[in-house]
Every structure is written in C-alpha cells, then in structure tokens.
Amino acid sequence: MQVLRHVPGLWLAPLLALAVLLSGCRSGRLLGENYDADGDPFIRRAAWVASAENTAAGSADTSRVAYRVVLVGDTGEPVEEDPTLAAVERWAVPRDRAAVVLLGDNLYPSGLEEGDRARGEAILRQQLEAISALRIFVPGNHDWGSSPGDWAVDRVVAQQEFVLAWSEGDVDFLPRDGCPGPAVRELLRPGDGMERGIAVVAIDWMPWFSTVADSSGCPPGDFGKRIDNAFAALTNHFVIVASHYPLRSGGAHAGLGRGLLIDTLLNIYHLVRPRSILRLYHPRYAELARQVKDALERHRPLVYAAGHDHNLQLFEPDENALMHIVSGAGSAGKVERVTAVPGTIFAHAVSGFVVLDFVTRNGIGAPVVRVVRTGQEKPVFQMRIPLGDKLDGM
C-alpha cells in the first residue's frame, strides 16, 4: 500500500480500464426502455393505426388488395413445423398476387458449407416447402459465413444455385453471383389492377465488406450510377429496396446494450475476434450506409426493408425512403431486444414479420404496412404509408 500511495497511476489505470470495459467499449451504444415479448410494443402514436375502413385486418381478407408483399428476415434457424413460416404461408395470399422477400441470413451459422451441406439444404428446403407464393431470397452476412475470416463467395453462390434449382413454384435469388446489385424483380406491372406497378430492388453489402468477393463478373460502374439506371426504369412503380443491412435501427447491431454481464463478455469476445464491422456504428458500416443513402436520396423509394436485427421495427420517412422497415424476427430463437430511437413508429422484440398490402380504390393503390406477430392471426399494428413528404397527423 505504501508503494501505491507514491504511484497512484499504478492502481488507477487498471480501474479505468475495467470501467471502460464494463461500461461497454462500443461507441454509439443505445440506452433506453426495452420492448420485449413479455411487454407491449412501442407505438409512437396509437392514432396512426389505420381504421378498418381502409385496411383489411386479416390474412384472408384480400378483396381490395392488388398485391401483397411479405417481408421476413433471418429465417435461417427454423424449428420443426416452424410457426412463423406457417404464418407467412397463411399471409402470402392470393398466391398469384403475393411475394415473400426473405431478407437474408437464410441459413445459420455459416451459409451452405460443403462439409455441412445436408443440414444446410434441409433448412433451405424447409423454407422453400413452407411457402407457395413467389419467394425472393436476399443474402445476408451468415449466408457468406459465420465471421469475417470465414466469409466465402462459394457459399452464397451454392445457396443461390440450390434455391434457383427449386422446381416447385416461382423462386428467385437476388443479387446473384456474389455481386452487390442492384438487382430488380418486377412484381406487378403498371396498369395490372393498379395504376402503378411494384418492384423489388435488392442489394447486398457483403461484397463491399469482404476481401474475398470477386467483382470481376459483376455489372460495371459505380453503385450510385447502377441505382440511377435501375430507378430510371421504375418511374411508375412503388419500389421496395430490400437488403439484409438496415440504415436505421434500435436493436443490438445499432449498439443496444443487452445487460452489463452480456455486454462485458461480448466486449471481451470482440477484442479477440472482431466482428463489429457489421454494426451500424462501425466506421466502415457507416461509410457504406452513406453510400447507399446518397444513392437513394435521388429517388426516395417507398420502403427500405432490412433484417440483421432480430426484431420488428418501423421508422418514419426520411430523405432515403418513405418508410424504413426492420423485419429480422423470422427465427424465434434469435429474437433480441429493441428500443425506440428518434423516428421509431413501432418496435417489438417478438418473432414475426411485416406485410405490405397495396390496397386499391378506383385503380389507385394505397400502400398499407402491417406488423404480424407469430401466433396472432390479426396484425398487432397497421397503418397506411403516406405518400407525401410528411406522415398524416404529424
């Protein structure tokens, strides 16, 4: 003790280091109330829940729905007779006027590995067999591998080939060949029951993250120019930009603390095996997000839809999209906490998915968003997506 009195920095330094570690050494960590399955969801304004007059309330009620898009992500760890996949199938009606967009991490933990192919194919087969409508698979980081040192383009291409070889019903995989995209799939042509058409524009950030991705066979030109070209052909469409990676979130990948003990263990783990590049506050992630935002600002799609965070979130419009959606709760065992951040409309850490209904009146389509919780037949939240600059009632 006599020595420590003369050299106070000797005991102060380790205490400061411990304090930093225990407090969570990740910048951008979000604090706030958690909206878990044992409580109510966060709803910013209950008045925004649309009335029954202009929104169909149940999965079978599609009398005025010109087209339905189900957005569900992180489905790669289904259980036997998975209830979320069964609910997606009930909502994906009518079959010829519906599409299911799987928003990445379709196969945990490491994509379609050659040494574990039977298990991987069984998981993909379960998802393909569970759904009858058009299925569009978008790759996520776990479809490339479990961690940066494990990422391999061969795995995501193997998944692509397995999905596209499926002979029962309409399936797609976008973008293809380990390319970032954008890749376009038109769902509804303009004038086919609705004045405007509907299109999905899929992008994959992983080729930008990964050093093993080979872009030599991908479309030329910078990403912004390719986005401009894609949107130039979609001037009379509602556009849904689909990616695994969110631009906005109040979940774990945005830095939401999961409790002191778990945060401490995760901080130690990430010091040994860094994976934080896939978190929204990482400089590289933020740089790529700015690249995507800059491209989207010129076009402002209807929706930017993502997974990655394992919960259900809706965000009010910004310059990048009229609504941001995080729908990454496709695997019940993966669901993680969520909080409300500026702009949050809805947030809940429960298994489920998000439905976009294009409800028509005199041929004019009005997009309606619904949040469906697994095990509940009716949506837990629904509202019309205003097409102006501001949300109604603000």
Domain ranges within the chain, ordered by starting residue: 27-384
Q: Are 156 and 113 in contact (CB under 8 A)?
A: no
List the strands of the sheet with 303-306, edge to edge.
42-43, 344-348, 312-315, 323-327, 303-306, 237-242, 197-202, 183-188
The pTM of this model reads 0.87
**d(C-alpha 116, C-alpha 390), whole Å:** 49
Question: Strand pairing partners for 337?
Answer: none
> What does the pLDDT look like over 304-348, one tens digit per residue?
999 999 999 999 999 999 999 999 999 999 999 999 999 999 999
Tell me the average pLDDT across 145-174. Answer: 93
**d(C-alpha 381, C-alpha 45), whole Å:** 11
Range ranked top by mean pLDDT from 95-99, 255-259, 364-368: 95-99
Q: Are 249 and 309 in contact (CB under 8 A)?
A: yes
The candidate with the shortest Cα–Cα distance to 25, out of 246, 255, 248, 278, is 255
Q: Are 38 and 160 in contact (CB under 8 A)?
A: no
> What does the pLDDT look like over 193-235, one tens digit per residue?
899 999 999 999 999 987 766 677 888 889 999 999 999 999 9
**d(C-alpha 197, C-alpha 188), whole Å:** 5
Report the phi/psi class of residue 364: left, alpha or beta, with left for phi > 0 and alpha for psi in -120 to 50. Answer: beta
Q: Is the pLDDT of residue 269 over 90?
A: no
Which one is the CATH code of 27-384: 3.20.20.140, 3.20.20.120, 3.60.21.10, 1.10.10.10? 3.60.21.10
Q: Is the pLDDT of residue 154 over 80?
A: yes
Q: Is the pLDDT of residue 273 over 80?
A: no
Q: Which tokens in the block code for residue 242? A: 């689909």
Distances from the Cα of 35 to the Cα of 251, 334, 340, angstroms: 10, 15, 8
Question: Strand pairing partners for 368?
Answer: 357, 384
**d(C-alpha 374, C-alpha 74), whole Å:** 14
Q: H helices within the chain, ranges in order? A: 2-6, 9-23, 83-91, 117-130, 141-144, 153-164, 206-209, 223-232, 260-272, 283-297
Give the whole-number percent of the chain exceeding pLDDT 70: 80
Q: Are 160 and 177 in contact (CB under 8 A)?
A: yes
Longest Cα pair distance anywhere in the chain, in angstroms? 87
Backbone angles phi, psi at 314, to 5 degrees: -125, 145
Lowest mean pLDDT among 12-21, 243-252, 287-296: 12-21
Distances from the Cα of 194 to the Cα of 4, 56, 59, 309, 360, angstroms: 78, 17, 20, 33, 7
Q: What percent of the chain is helix, strand and coil (3-state, nearest 5)?
A: 30, 20, 45
Range ranked top by mean pLDDT from 38-47, 211-220, 273-282, 375-384: 375-384
CB neighbourhood size of 19 (10 A): 9
Sequence-separated (6 or more) residues with CB below 8 Å from residue 209 = 141, 148, 151, 277, 278, 284, 288
